[in-house]
Amino acid sequence: KNTHSIENRINELEYEVQHNTIQFPYQESYKGWEITIEQQKTRSGILVNIMATNRNRKKEITKQFAVWQQAK
């Protein structure tokens, strides 16, 4: 089925994470999807996991990306 809407929302949330406008851990409901965002600190930066689950359709979409720490 069409996942265009949830994929757009995930991209919006990724943008917000990269611009530090989201506090972790993060959760929201969006059009029948449950979205969670978690972070994992690594030596070189932060690894971010976005997971969207739709229990009715038995679908799951995940996205993982790195946010690099700025050198001070």
pLDDT in tens, 37-56: 999 998 888 899 999 999 99
pLDDT at 8: 97
The residue count of the chain comes to 72
- pTM score: 0.85
For residue 72, the model assigns a pLDDT of 47
Q: What pLDDT shows up at residue 31?
A: 94
| 1 band by pLDDT with thresholds 50, 70 and 90 | low
Residue-wise DSSP of 35-64: EEEEEEE-SSEEEEEEEEEETTTTEEEEEE
Domain definitions of the chain by residue range: 4-68
